[in-house]
Amino acid sequence: MAGELAYDDVDNFSLENGSKQKWEMQIPGSRFKSIFSGKGLMLLICILLGVFLILLVTGVIKCSETNETVEEFQSKVQMQVSHALNNVSDRTELRELELRILSEVSRRSERACQNLQCPRHWLYFNESCYYFSTNQASWNASSLYCSLRGTHLLVINSLREQHFATLETQSRRFWIGLTDHKEVNKWQWIDGTDYTKTPTYWMPGEPSNLDESCAHLWVDGAWNDAPCTGKEYFVCEMEAQQ
């Protein structure tokens, strides 16, 4: 009976301050709440950010072959983490910060890995790597330069690739892997790609075939045939590393 009266009067039940604190400590929910208060919240934030930073650096190390890339990424992320930590005030911001960091980790790691699919000084585009020379050479010397590096002069297979090459070459002329020196007016791509099955972007009136057996990109990106002994810049192309 006494037990029943005690439960009936639970709405009027009160505790002294010391007893109340002890009672709250025994409630699982109150422990969880204490973790997210004051210093506990900041400690949790530091731990989470530390884990994210480790994951990012680890991912970059796997993708990168140079300490330079790792240090650059680590420095940038440390600055962002430090700035973000100073502005976190509650659990909502903590969750938003977590999502932002995860998104940034994914984006930057993907970009780093993608860039590292190509050798140094090469550009990545559409699963291929391209080297735009800074020196001029004859068509044969340019072709030899590429082949000695396990690549070949640029072979243009699509309008997208033509636009890419045009943007990168800007106002200079670059040799591409197209020639008819084996048989006049029978143009062939250097890698064996069927010339009749690829789009062409010749300048009006070209190819003229006046002892001009090698093709290059003109200053506006259109194709022109020229003597193979002429000195031009050149573009090497190869498949990107997987």
Is pLDDT at 173 greater than 90 in this prediction? yes
User: Which of these three, 80, 115, 150, is where a domain ends?
Assistant: 115
Q: Are 230 and 142 in contact (CB under 8 A)?
A: no
Residue with the larger pLDDT of the pair 77 and 123: 123
Domain range spanning residue 143?
123-239
In a domain, 5, yes or no: no
Q: Are 61 and 52 in contact (CB under 8 A)?
A: no
In a domain, 56, yes or no: yes
Shared-domain flag, residues 160 and 76: no
Is pLDDT at 81 greater than 80 in this prediction? no
Is pLDDT at 73 greater than 80 in this prediction? no
User: Which of these three, 88, 115, 142, is where a domain ends?
Assistant: 115
CATH number, domain with residue 144? 3.10.100.10
Span of 55-69, 157-171, 208-222 with lowest mean pLDDT? 55-69
pLDDT in tens, 200-219: 999 999 998 778 999 999 98
Is pLDDT at 64 greater than 60 in this prediction? no
pTM: 0.56
Specify the number of domains making up the chain. 2
Is pLDDT at 55 greater than 50 in this prediction? yes
Is pLDDT at 198 greater than 70 in this prediction? yes
User: Which of these three, 65, 91, 115, is where a domain ends?
Assistant: 115
